[in-house]
Structure 1
Amino acid sequence: MTRLVVVTGTDTGVGKTVATAALAARAAAGGSRVLVVKPVQTGIGGADPDVPDVDTVRSLAGVEAVQLAALDEPLAPDTAARRQGVAIPSVAEHATAIHDLAPAHDLVLVEGAGGLLVRIDADGGTLLDLAALLAAEVVIVTRAGLGTLNHTELTVAALRHRGIEPAGLVIGSWPAAPGLAESCNRADLPRVTGVPLLAVLPEGAGSAADFRTAAPGWFTTA
């Protein structure tokens, strides 16, 4: 049976892509057939386009990765689609596509865009809706610094309101010299949310030359 895991963040820029790659690398190292799916990628147009997240995942983790829709401007997907004048798949269509891809893999990781409630289709559907349709586990990538407790608790509360218990937390970037806030937050995140801390990724993890070898060691659980 294929395991489905949605990877979301408390905000944009928290390290979701590198965290997704770390989850993928760890599973692949254990012999699992892994697929990473990015339902919607934004920011790929213009004079200085972003590197697609699926390319980063392929490079870091060495696993298969597919992108279902792409938009030019670095905005929320529904806004970017509206401004570009194009149609993007609905949440239900994304769910169908992921279910069609899943049987050939042991683990499918679905990386969101921005946070849990960012609209990823033109009908107001969110990553939360997609997670519910997929009946997937959800991993939350969060920041280490000040403000993370509030953002993480809000994300956890939104999931629980829909009857989804988060599978775990990942700190997306742990500083080389953590301050008081970071040190306290590392202990407080699982305490205040009741969600286990799965991994702590070092700052700059995405640039690690030995990413696939190092990634399993960033996890706090066996």
Structure 2
Amino acid sequence: MTPSIFITGTDTGVGKTIVTAALARALRDLGRDIGVMKPIQTGVARTSEGWEPGDAEYLAAVSSTGDPMDLICPVRLEAPLAPSVAAELAGTAVDLDRVLASYRKLRTRHAGVLIEGAGGITVPIQKDYGMADLARAMDLPLLIVARPALGTINHTALTAHYAQAVGLTVLGIVIAGMPAEPGLAERTSPAAIEQLTGLPVLGCMPFDSNIDVERGDPGETVEWMIASGTAQRVLDRFSLAASGHSNPENP
């Protein structure tokens, strides 16, 4: 089964783009027809030639889907702020119709699409409309990306519980940027997160200094996504959720 998943984070800068790109490329290498989408990107500069490259271009480069950039990233805003705030400063509003139309178009081009949200699950897109509402409108389950450092237990549990409280299915968690020599917090947090949330940590992606977003270089993250079994575990969790079972221990 080819998954469509909304990928959110416990905060901004936790590794959503790296995980989304690596997972998309890994799934494509495993024979799945996957597209990628960054519906709303903030903090990108506009030049006389257009928008400067950002996370959306990295997703496109690593995944090699070949889709037009206006479908992959239909809304861009210059201010590095929450979409609703960045749009207000620009004297506009996020065009949700355009976002959803682009998503529907990508779904006609691919069997599944990985959607990378902006910031965390409660980040506002418009007044009284946030990332959770967009995930619901797309009717997609969530994959949560978290950081490994101290504090991640609280951030991850809050994200998972909020998502479930508003009716979203959470497939699991990927921890991004695990140091080569993890400290006590990094070593113990994954098990604590699983116990507190009842959700599986599907993988702990190592920190990779070779990642270069500007050049579209994923380092070894794609190979890790396959070799670690993380990509397959995501597929398995999606299949269970699609069949109506959210707990692989008790299908």
The normalised TM-score by structure 1 is 0.89
Which amino acid in 1 is paired with 2:135?
Answer: A
Kept after mapping to 2: 8 A contact 1:43/1:50: no
Q: Structure 1: which 5+ residue stretches go unaligned?
A: none
Structural mapping, 1:94-105, within 5 Å: 94-105=99-110
Measure, in 1, the Cα distance between the counterparts of 2:99 and 2:219.
33
Q: Output one character per residue of 1:42-86: Cα deviation in whole Å (capped at 9) or x when no partner.
A: 111279x97411111223333346101000111111111111112
Q: Do the aligned partners of residues 75 and 105 (structure 1) sit closer, same or farther apart at CA in structure 2, a change above 3 Å counting?
A: same
Q: Give the superposition deviation at 1:99.
A: 2.1
Kept after mapping to 1: 8 A contact 2:12/2:119: yes
Spell out structure 1 runs of 4+ moving beyond 6 A.
none
Q: Structure 2: which 5+ residue stretches go unaligned?
A: 213-217, 234-251
Measure, in 2, the Cα distance between the counterparts of 1:50 and 1:139.
28
Measure, in 2, the Cα distance between the counterparts of 1:172 and 1:144.
7
Aligned mate of 2:168, from 156, 161, 164: 164
| Identical-residue share of aligned pairs (%) | 35
Measure, in 2, the Cα distance between the counterparts of 1:32 and 1:69.
27
Could you say which residue in structure 2 is the equivalent of 1:152? 156
Q: Give the superposition deviation at 1:187.
A: 1.7
The normalised TM-score by structure 2 is 0.79
Q: Give the superposition deviation at 1:125.
A: 1.3
Of the structure 1 ranges 139-148 and 95-104, higher mean CA displacement relative to structure 2 is found in 95-104
Could you say which residue in structure 2 is the equivalent of 1:119? 124
Measure, in 2, the Cα distance between the counterparts of 1:140 and 1:50.
27
Q: Do the aligned partners of residues 156 and 214 (structure 1) sit closer, same or farther apart at CA in structure 2, a change above 3 Å counting?
A: closer
Q: Give the superposition deviation at 1:97.
A: 2.8
Give the paired residue count: 219
Measure, in 1, the Cα distance between the counterparts of 2:52 and 2:200.
32
Q: Do the aligned partners of residues 165 and 209 (structure 1) sit closer, same or farther apart at CA in structure 2, a change above 3 Å counting?
A: closer
SS of 1:201's equivalent in the other structure is strand
Q: Output one character per residue of 1:7-44: Cα deviation in whole Å (capped at 9) or x when no partner.
A: 00000010000010121012101111211111110111
Kept after mapping to 1: 8 A contact 2:10/2:145: yes
